[in-house]
Structure 1
Amino acid sequence: MTITAVVFDVGECLVDETREYGTWADWLGVPRHTFVAQFGAVIAQGRDYRETFQVFRPGFDLYEERERRLAAGQPETFGEEDLYPDVRPALADLRAAGLWLAIAGNQTVRAGTILRSLFTGDVDLIGTSDDWGAAKPDLAFFERVAEAVPAEPGQILYVGDRLDNDVLPAAKAGMRTALIRRGPWGWIHQHDPAAEQATVRIDSLTELPELIAEFNAAAN
């Protein structure tokens, strides 16, 4: 079965979250390098990244703090300057190759609005966990992806930086997967034996057009 559609995760796949997490360290009033070190430790232990906030402020509620930041004029945000440099070229090449493209990740409604402003005309669909009422790694999220994409699950390549949230649940839903090595999860998860379950492993999104073409040629 050939790949006809590519669906991208957001954080550390399309968007470099360095600045975003830096602003969270500032909001918590802790040095950025201290926050990042604790963040990496939590991920390496296989824990939920949100536990990082609890270390510095027990009882921290991410939803409430997002609202407080918004009220204070310091909302979570990202823009063109936060996109990884390979994003635009990769999307253009994949589109030229005739592939159906989408962006789908665990994001807020506000983030979805930003994504739609950044990628108008570049992809066929943008969906978020808040839009769908289902969040990764729940199978329901990937079922929503499969419902929205005009292809069979086996024809969909889901691209992400995490094994737990992206590769393994997408594969369970019957999709092909690409694990990209960047961001905290990408570098930590590369050594996990489960990484071998990814259909392809990449260091740049610009590798995808050729890899998909090779995969499809072999499938035919």
Structure 2
Amino acid sequence: MIRAVVFDVGECLVDETREYGTWADWLGVPRHTFHAMFGAVIAQGRDYRETFQEFQPGFDLYEEREKRAAAGQAEAFGETDLYADVRPALAQLRGAGLWLGIAGNQTVRAGRILRDLFSRDVDLIGTSDDWGASKPDPEFFKRVAHVVPFAVDSILYVGDRCDNDIRPAREAGMPTALVRRGPWATIQWNSTEARELPTFRVDSLLELPDLVSKFNGSER
């Protein structure tokens, strides 16, 4: 049975359109051009961080984040950046008695924002910076399994990427849900992995309560 649901952050809970737009501004390139290159890099199976190298060779994302913060332009997201289905889906899952968590590749700064936004809605918020392990490293999912108070095969991990979320979570023994939104899921959706690996494929997080209920009923 699924007893816990753990969510990725970017393009799962948070629409990152505004944030990547500010990166284009920081680099001094048109947003349309930046977004086009971003999509091309992902479609080629490359690390999204290579996008920055295309415009500024030697770009160090960590250093540039610190420079942005020092300039009063720190990375930020808030309530208006959440996908519209996030709050109602969390409420329905909580109402069904499920343990809820958020765990993604995020900075310490982003972790503080997440706790401000969701501390009353979920049981745990963890980030790669908190744990010293980043997806798709198996160690990240070991940390998830360690902090969730249920067996690993009872933890549904929800994300938007086959490579970073679905495949490593499944390899860790978790059921998974792939949500179709953001650049990764859009590009990967018709791939063999996207069709075959996830336990569930959804267009909205609001599909999860019924899917989990049916899954648990079939497990009895």
TM range (shorter): over 0.9
Alignment-derived partner of residue 186 in structure 2: 187
Tell me the equivalent position of 1:28. Answer: 27
Following superposition, the deviation at residue 118 of structure 1 comes to 0.2
Provide the TM-score with structure 1 as the length reference.
Answer: 0.99
1:215 is the counterpart of 2:215: yes
- Displacement of 1:218 in angstroms is 0.5
1:124 corresponds to:
123
Determine the C-alpha separation between the residues in 2 that align with 1:202 and 1:151: 24
Aligned pairs (5 A) from 1:86-97: 86-97=85-96
2-side partners of 1:120 and 1:145: how far apart? 17
Structure 1 residue 18, shift from structure 2 partner: 0.1
Match of 2:200 in 1: 200
SS at 2:15 equivalent: coil
Residue aligned with 1:30, SS? coil
Task: Output the amino acid matched with 1:217.
Answer: G
Paired with 1:133 and 1:207, the residues of 2 have a C-alpha distance of 32
Taking structure 2 as the reference length, the TM-score comes to 0.99
Q: Write the mapping of 1:13-92 to structure 2, written as runs, cut at 5 A.
A: 13-92=12-91
SS in 2 for 1:158: strand
Q: CA–CA distance in 2 between the matches of 1:191 and 1:57?
A: 32
Secondary structure of the 1:178 match is strand
Q: Once the 2 structures are TM-superposed, how far is the Cα of residue 108 of structure 1 from its aligned partner?
A: 0.2
Describe the superposition over 1:161-216 as per-residue Cα deviations: whole angstroms up to 9, x where unpaired: 00000000000000000000000001011011011210000000000000000000
User: What's the RMSD between the two structures over aligned residues?
Assistant: 0.4
Structure 1 unaligned segments of length 5 or more: list them. none
Q: In the TM superposition, what whole-angstrom CA distance separates every residue of 1:13-43 from its partner, at most 9, and x where no partner exists?
A: 0000000000000000000000000000000
Task: Find the aligned partners of 2:79 and 2:186 in 1 and give their Cα distance.
Answer: 24
Task: Please state how far the C-alpha of 1:95 moved relative to its aligned partner.
Answer: 0.2
CA–CA separation in structure 2 for the residues paired with 1:36 and 1:191: 21
Number of equivalent positions: 219
Give the Cα separation in 1 of the matches to 2:205 and 2:169.
18
Q: Which amino acid aligns with 1:186?
A: A
Match of 2:146 in 1: 147
Whether 1:168 and 2:163 are equivalent positions in the alignment is no
Letter in 2 for 1:38: M
